[in-house]
């Protein structure tokens, strides 16, 4: 088995902060490695050294196997906003096939007009189209919707490529990787197996380390008694014991204490009345763009935990801004939004951080107790924002919101850039949060643990309420699509019902019953046509014009299926 990458004795520090010190490891052919570490531990710095954009402080070596093809996916993708997608990444059969699979469709759109998630999909297309032997990726799922995540997950899971990636997505990690590599305390530790195995083996390592430290402390105590009982002028024969004593002192101080984000001290304002946010007949669109919401009526309830999902660019963040009263002058808005008089919202925005670079951690959060609970150690209190990693900034931003004691939390993509340790503890806090919680996220693990139901943004202003968690929703849609493909000649079997029964509803009218039957036949036909076109695209035998035509038609079919599936769901709910 060939060694694709050899790292020998590389180091990186910023000022007095040591990120990693003379670390060494190998990546062999076929390895699929997830690199995880707390924010600020040096993951991105290590990736930049591998990409040749930074240097090791201690020299060392970064050796790639000669003649292998390497593709890097960095968090910040460099592009020209005036380029079309085709100009940015090339216009080949491979790139067009991947763009279609990722839901981007036309390659003639300008890069400057794309959302953050769409830009990320362009970057991923460029990486996959390179057909490299070795992919190196820094947070590949950040800003991606679930369709794109699942496509990338399936692609990498089936591929024989070698992979090294930084990720916080626990589902993605388990389904793609066979090795977990941890950067901890400046050292590298490697665990073969899945995420659960990593957690177990890591805890065993820490327990063993602390047990050894306890033994050293017992020895130190005996040596300390000897030092105190022995005059300093004792003969030079005892010098070795004094030197050994100093080494014992250093080793005894290194016991590992797992630091967790303890949220017990962070309280929300419990004075939340029966009215939270009530939306009635809400309509919003921007001229020249698809409608965001149409005839949306919903009362957010005290204590509910709702997830908001949908494809990139469908308007989820715009909807959240509407709830907050943040409306652009160009927006066309009708209907009403009423907010409770005792409502205090904590709003975590994707682009909400507005710290001054010279601000220190203690300037922004002057409560040292809370800082300590949130993984900011005393030596970091005077650290300026400019010196914090992206994840540390996000963690600090989150704390500035929670410390205001909101009784409603609205979190727009809160998992981006947060490390797994912080995510686990944040989940525990949100599970205990008794206020109203609204989450926009594509992190399947995060959503599965937290939400009771979903508001599904389907496009063109249509929003559907789904009772159940995120995985249940995805299984619900996939099961139906699979059944539709299998049943081209007969009515589709009813979809599995949501995990929690919906309240009783009126019966279908005669006209609606006929519409439901027609929709079942149309969905079967559209799904079959889409499957046929996807098979033709994957065959690699289509010419340029046929490929363009098929790609365009698949885009049309996806829009048609979204609209008709939504109406099918609506009528089915009434009929059930």
The enclosing domain of 499 has a CATH number of 1.10.287
Furthest CA-CA distance within the chain: 106
Distance CA 576, CA 571 (A): 9
**What is the structure's pLDDT at 223?**
57
pLDDT of residue 261: 47
Phi, psi of 117 (to 5 degrees): -65, -35
Structural domain ending residue among the three candidates 169, 193, 217:
193
Q: Are residues 62 and 158 in the same domain?
A: yes
Looking at the fold, whether 383 and 455 belong to one and the same domain comes out as yes
CATH no. for residue 376? 3.40.50.300
pTM: 0.71
CA dist., res. 352 & res. 339, Å (int): 22
Q: Within this chain, do residues 459 and 494 fall inside the same structural domain, yes or no?
A: no
- 436 plus 510 within the same structural domain: no
How is residue 508 written in tokens? 């279908």
Give me the phi and psi of 529, to 5 degrees please: -65, -45
Provide the 10 A C-beta neighbour count for residue 241: 14
Which two tokens mark 271?
A: 């004075």
Going through 47-139 in order, the beta strands assigned E by DSSP cover 61-64, 70-73, 134-138
CA 256 to chain centre: 28
Residue with tokens 């002192």: 249
Among residues 447, 450, 449, 266, which one has the least CA distance to residue 374? Answer: 266
Q: 353 near 393, Cβ under 8 Å?
A: yes
CA distance 292 to 442: 19
Distance CA 546, CA 338 (A): 51
- For 237-256, the pLDDT digits (tens) are 455 555 555 555 555 555 55
Residue 263 lies in a domain: no
Report pLDDT for 147.
85
Question: What's residue 298's pLDDT?
Answer: 95
CA-angle at 150, arms to 147 and 152, nearest 5°: 110
Q: 533-569 pLDDT, tens per residue?
A: 777 766 656 666 676 677 778 777 777 877 787 787 7
Expressed as residue numbers, the domain containing 314 is 277-467
Q: Is residue 130 part of a domain?
A: yes
Residue 269 lies in a domain: no
Backbone region of residue 358 per phi and psi (left: phi > 0; alpha: psi in -120 to 50; beta: other values): alpha
- CB 516, CB 568: distance < 8 Å: yes
Identify whether 231 is part of a domain: yes
Does any domain span residue 167? Answer: yes
Q: Which pLDDT value is given to residue 284?
A: 94
Q: Which of 436, 467, 498 is the last residue of a domain?
A: 467
Instruction: State which H helix or E strand residue 280 sits in.
Output: strand 277-285
Beta bridge partners of 70: 134
User: Residue 531, class by beta-carbon neighbours within 10 Å (0-12 exposed, 13-18 middle, 19+ buried)?
Assistant: middle
User: Among residues 447, 446, 466, 448, which one has the least CA distance to residue 456?
Assistant: 466
The residue ranges of the chain whose pLDDT is under 70 are 213-272, 488-506, 537-545, 547-548, 576
Residue 157 contacts residue 91 (beta carbons within 8 Å): no
- Helix 510-539 × helix 93-101 angle, to 10°: 150
Q: Do 438 and 520 lie in a common domain?
A: no
Among 451, 467, 483, the domain boundary falls at: 467
Q: Are residues 24 and 154 in the same domain?
A: yes
Q: How far apart are CA 14 and CA 314, in angstroms?
A: 41
Other CB atoms within 10 Å distance of the CB of residue 181 = 20
Q: Based on the domain organization, do 161 and 214 belong to the same domain?
A: no
- Is residue 460 domain-shared with residue 479, that is, in the same domain? no
d(CA 73, CA 570): 40
Same domain, residue pair 319 and 387: yes
Q: Give the H or E element holding residue 151.
A: helix 146-158
Query: Do 378 and 232 share a structural domain?
Result: no
Strands 134-138 and 162-166: parallel
Structural domain includes residue 378: yes
Q: Which of 479, 503, 423 is nearest to 172 (CA)?
A: 423
Q: Which residue has the tokens 């009708």?
A: 334
Number of domains in the chain: 4
* Strand boundaries in 3-75, DSSP class E: 3-14, 17-28, 32-36, 61-64, 70-73
- C-alpha–C-alpha distance, residues 524 and 416, integer Å: 37
Q: Do 444 and 568 fall into the same domain?
A: no
CA distance 470 to 454: 7
Whether the Cβ atoms of residue 460 and residue 452 lie closer than 8 Å to each other: no
Q: How far is CA 63 from CA 4, 15, 20, 25, 257, in A?
A: 8, 27, 18, 11, 35
Question: Going edge to edge, which strands form the sheet with 3-14?
Answer: 17-28, 3-14, 61-64
CB 49 within 8 A of CB 9: no
Instruction: Give me the pLDDT at residue 128, please.
Output: 94
Whole-number CA gyration radius for the chain: 27
CA distance 418 to 429: 15
Say what the pLDDT of residue 233 is.
43
Do residues 427 and 349 both lie within one domain? Answer: yes
Whether the Cβ atoms of residue 39 and residue 391 lie closer than 8 Å to each other: yes
Q: Is residue 268 part of a domain?
A: no
**DSSP per residue, 434-484:** -SEEEEE---HHHHHHH-SEEEEEEETTEEEEEES-HHHHHHHHHHHHHHH
Answer whether residue 261 is part of any domain. no
């Amino acid at each position: 088995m060939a060694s694709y990458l050899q790292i020998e004795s590389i180091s990186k520090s910023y000022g007095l902060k040591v990120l990693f010190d003379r670390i060494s490891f190998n990546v062999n052919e076929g390895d699929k490695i997830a690199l995880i570490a707390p924010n600020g531990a040096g993951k991105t710095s290590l990736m930049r050294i591998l990409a040749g954009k930074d240097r090791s402080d201690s020299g060392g070596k970064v050796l790639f196997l000669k003649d292998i093809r390497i593709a890097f996916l960095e968090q910040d993708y460099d592009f020209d906003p005036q380029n079309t997608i085709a100009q940015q990444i090339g216009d080949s059969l491979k790139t067009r096939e991947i763009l279609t699979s990722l839901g981007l469709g036309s390659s003639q759109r300008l890069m400057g007009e794309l959302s953050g998630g769409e830009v990320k999909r362009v970057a991923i297309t460029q990486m996959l189209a390179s057909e490299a032997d070795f992919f190196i990726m820094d947070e590949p799922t950040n800003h991606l919707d679930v369709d794109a995540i699942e496509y990338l997950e399936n692609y990498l899971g089936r591929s024989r490529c070698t992979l090294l990636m930084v990720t916080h997505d626990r589902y993605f990690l388990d389904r793609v990787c066979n090795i977990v590599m941890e950067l901890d305390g400046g050292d590298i530790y490697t665990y073969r197996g899945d995420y659960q195995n990593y957690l177990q083996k890591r805890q065993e390592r820490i327990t063993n380390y602390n047990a050894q430290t306890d033994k050293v402390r017992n020895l130190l105590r005996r040596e300390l008694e000897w030092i105190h009982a022995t005059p300093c002028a004792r003969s030079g024969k005892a010098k070795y014991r004094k030197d050994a004593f100093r080494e014992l002192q250093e080793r005894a101080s290194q016991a590992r204490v797992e630091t967790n984000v303890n949220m017990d001290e962070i309280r929300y304002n419990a004075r939340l009345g029966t009215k939270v946010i009530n939306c009635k007949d809400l309509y919003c669109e921007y001229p020249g763009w698809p409608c965001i919401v149409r005839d949306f009526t919903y009362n957010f309830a005290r204590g509910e935990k709702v997830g908001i999902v949908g494809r990139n660019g469908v308007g989820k963040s715009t909807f959240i801004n509407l709830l907050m009263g943040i409306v652009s002058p160009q927006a066309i808005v009708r209907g009403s939004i009423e907010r409770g008089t005792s409502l205090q919202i904590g709003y975590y925005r994707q682009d909400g951080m507005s710290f001054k670079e010279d601000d220190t951690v203690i300037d922004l959060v002057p409560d040292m107790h809370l800082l300590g609970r949130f993984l900011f150690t005393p030596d970091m209190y005077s650290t300026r924002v400019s010196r914090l990693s992206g994840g540390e900034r996000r963690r600090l931003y989150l704390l500035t919101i929670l410390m205001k004691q909101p009784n409603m939390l609205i979190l727009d993509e809160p998992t981006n850039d947060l490390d797994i340790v912080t995510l686990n503890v944040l989940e525990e806090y949100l599970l205990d949060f008794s206020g109203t919680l609204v989450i926009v996220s594509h992190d399947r693990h995060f959503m599965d643990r937290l939400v009771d139901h979903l508001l599904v943004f389907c496009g063109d202003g249509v929003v559907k309420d789904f009772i159940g968690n995120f995985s249940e929703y995805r299984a619900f849609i996939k099961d139906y699509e699979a059944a539709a493909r299998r049943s081209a000649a007969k009515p589709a079997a009813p979809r599995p019902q949501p995990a929690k029964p919906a309240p009783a509803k009126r019966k279908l009218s005669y006209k609606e019953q006929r519409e439901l039957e027609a929709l079942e036949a149309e969905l079967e036909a559209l799904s079959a046509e889409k499957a046929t076109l996807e098979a033709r695209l994957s065959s690699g035998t289509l010419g340029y014009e046929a490929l363009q035509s098929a790609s365009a038609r698949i885009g049309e079919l996806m829009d048609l299926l979204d609209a008709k599936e939504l109406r099918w769901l609506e009528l089915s709910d009434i009929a059930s």
